Amino acid sequence: MQIIDIPDYVKRALNLLESSGYEAYIVGGAARDIILGDVPSDYDIASSATPDECLGVFEKAKIKTVDTSKKHGTIVVIIEGHQIEITTYRVDGDYADNRHPDNVTFTRSIEEDVARRDFTMNAIYINSNSELVDLFGGIKDIEAGIIRTCGEPDRRFEEDALRIMRALRFAAVLGFEIEEKTRASIFKNYKLLSGISKERIATEFIKLLKGKNASGVIREYLEVFGLFLPVLLKMKGFDQKTKYHDKDMLEHTLAVLDGIDPKTDELCMAALLHDVGKTEVFCVDKNGVGHMKNHNKYSMIIAEKFLSDLKFSNSFKKKVDNLIRLHDVFPQSEVQIRKFLAHSSVEFMRELSVLQRADINGHAPNHRERMAYVDLREKIIDKIIVEEQCINMRELAISGQDVIDAGIPEGPRVGEIMRHVFSKVLEGTLANEKEEIIRYIGDRFNGKGK
Ligand code: ATP
Ligand code: MG
């Protein structure tokens, strides 16, 4: 028998509802995580109490409540600094548009609430005494590592096609297999995903990409991903005809994705997209060797369209874009690296190294020479940091006022001179020392701003 450890603040919420005569259970991801032996990051509760009844119970106990989405049955309570979502047992109405139930009806029946949940592993209920309600056999499926819809998969995916992405996301994150009928239904119904809000898809997609078996899921369900990123279908079986690659384009990409560590949103997305432009520029010379000049540029164009379609934020797009643009660039001298750092940041360069290492490891084993460039660059970055070298205008030993004091009249010329001085410092031809810089300004600009 599994030992179920429920934190005191969650027990308190469950107990308050129970002692007022209602049912209350930990549900969803938290219950799943507990059965998996993981510690949930947050706890959701399902209760037979209506939202108003819940509010009444917690207000009486002087616990802070937030009425987030009472209409849909959810309120939030804050106990000992932790937020807990409490959702009233519901029956979802008809789904006319494959995504939103037309109306939400509250119910006192746990059986009805269980039936609306997506997968058996997400339909387990745990109460304050650690008693389990598992009407769909979720525990058995978790133990076997299986994702299975609650009820007929076709009907469940037709109701809400996002569940298809959720199934793939859970398969990638948990390393589970999708049960045969559920799998067949995904292939039958995945086109319904085109009617689902892009933001909801993007949220699942990014979680999926960071999953430990993302590559396996993308490989197995390639058609589904092709719906959003058709170029992936072209990449399968695409021989790059160079000695640097022993895998086709898709397999190389998946190897790079596997190699990303740590798995951040931007790095995983850049890994997926870094080479997609190769399909556009590929050509074979008279010796039968493949060339993919400027592929970064085309990868960026395809990435921009894909990320915009899925409504990713501008800052996310910019970061991914920069990673793709530079994934084949290897500055090696201290001067080059200082200039790179000045345009980006130490954090960005470290992330670029993660992508480049994964990319290089995805090349044929005897063509990973570029790893030495990354190693060297990392050492040089360490040195720049230890020596506190100037890589930012703000770190210059002089200020705008110093430039004015050196005889340059106030105005745009001051900024120009600051930028000029900064570029000299980056190049290593001028030391970042106040006296020396002032002398340089005096000599070079004659103290008259000309
Ligand atoms: P995570 O660990 O990402 O939070 P989760 O399973 O908790 O995973 P949530 O989106 O937080 O996912 O949803 C909580 C619960 O609500 C799920 O476990 C599931 O029971 C139910 N649920 C969520 N989305 C759907 C859906 N589209 N269709 C049916 N049930 C759903
Ligand atoms: Mg959750």
For the chain, 450 residues long, give each residue's pLDDT as a single digit of tens.
567 889 999 999 999 999 999 999 999 999 999 999 999 999 999 999 999 999 999 999 999 999 888 888 999 999 999 999 999 999 987 666 666 666 789 999 999 999 999 999 999 999 999 999 999 999 999 999 999 999 999 999 999 999 999 999 999 999 999 999 999 999 999 999 999 999 999 999 999 999 999 999 999 999 999 999 999 999 999 888 888 888 999 999 999 999 999 999 999 999 999 999 998 878 888 888 888 888 899 999 999 999 999 999 999 999 999 999 999 999 999 999 999 999 999 999 999 999 999 999 999 999 899 999 999 999 999 999 999 999 999 999 999 999 999 999 999 999 999 999 999 999 999 999 999 999 999 999 865 544
What is the bridge-based pairing of β-strands 104-106 and 64-69?
A: unpaired
Assess contact for 411 and 391: CB atoms under 8 A.
no
Cβ-based neighbour number of residue 145 at 10 Å: 13
The per-residue pLDDT for 306 is: 98
Q: Give pLDDT, residue 449.
A: 45
What pLDDT was estimated at residue 54?
96
Query: What is the distance between the alpha carbons of residues 272 and 281, in angstroms, rounded to a whole number?
Result: 18
Torsion sign, CA atoms 370, 376, 380, 381: positive
Which helix (DSSP H) or strand (DSSP E) does residue 91 occupy?
strand 90-92
Please work out whether the CB of residue 278 comes within 6 Å of at least one atom of ligand 1: no
To the nearest 5 percent, what fractions of the chain are helix, strand and coil?
55, 10, 35
- pTM of the shown model: 0.93
What is the Cα–Cα distance from 362 to 7, expressed in whole angstroms?
44
The token pair that represents 91 in the structure block: 């029956």
Ligand 1: does its nearest atom lie under 6 Å from the Cβ of 28?
Answer: yes
Q: Where are the alpha helices (DSSP H) in 110-161?
A: 110-115, 138-144, 153-159
Q: Which ligand is nearest to the CA of 207?
A: 1
Q: Whose CA is nearest to atom 28 of ligand 1?
A: 118
Place of tokens 């590559």: 215
- Residue 246 has what pLDDT? 87
Task: Determine the residue of 25, 35, 117 to mutate for testing ligand 1's pocket, defined as the one with the most ligand atoms within 8 A of the Cβ atom.
Answer: 117
Determine whether the shortest distance from the Cβ of 29 to ligand 1 is under 6 A. Answer: yes
189 contacts 223 by C-beta, under 8 angstroms: no
Q: Residue 294: its pLDDT value, please? A: 87
pLDDT at res. 57 = 97
**Is cis: bond before 262, omega within 30 of 0?**
yes
Using alpha carbons, list the distances in angstroms from residue 190 to 94, 166, 194, 389.
20, 12, 8, 53
Q: Which of 118, 142, 150, 173 to mutate to test the pocket of ligand 1 (most atoms within 8 A of CB)?
A: 118
pLDDT reported for residue 450: 46
Residue given tokens 């209350």 in the structure block: 24
CB distance 204 to ligand 1 below 6 Å: no
Instruction: Report H helices in 260-367.
Output: 265-273, 278-281, 295-309, 314-326, 334-343, 346-361
Instruction: Tell me if residue 283 falls in helix, strand or coil.
Output: strand
As a whole number of angstroms, the distance between CA 303 and CA 305 comes to 5
What's the sign of the alpha-carbon dihedral 203, 207, 208, 214? positive
Q: How far is the CA of 122 from the centre of ligand 1 (A)?
A: 7
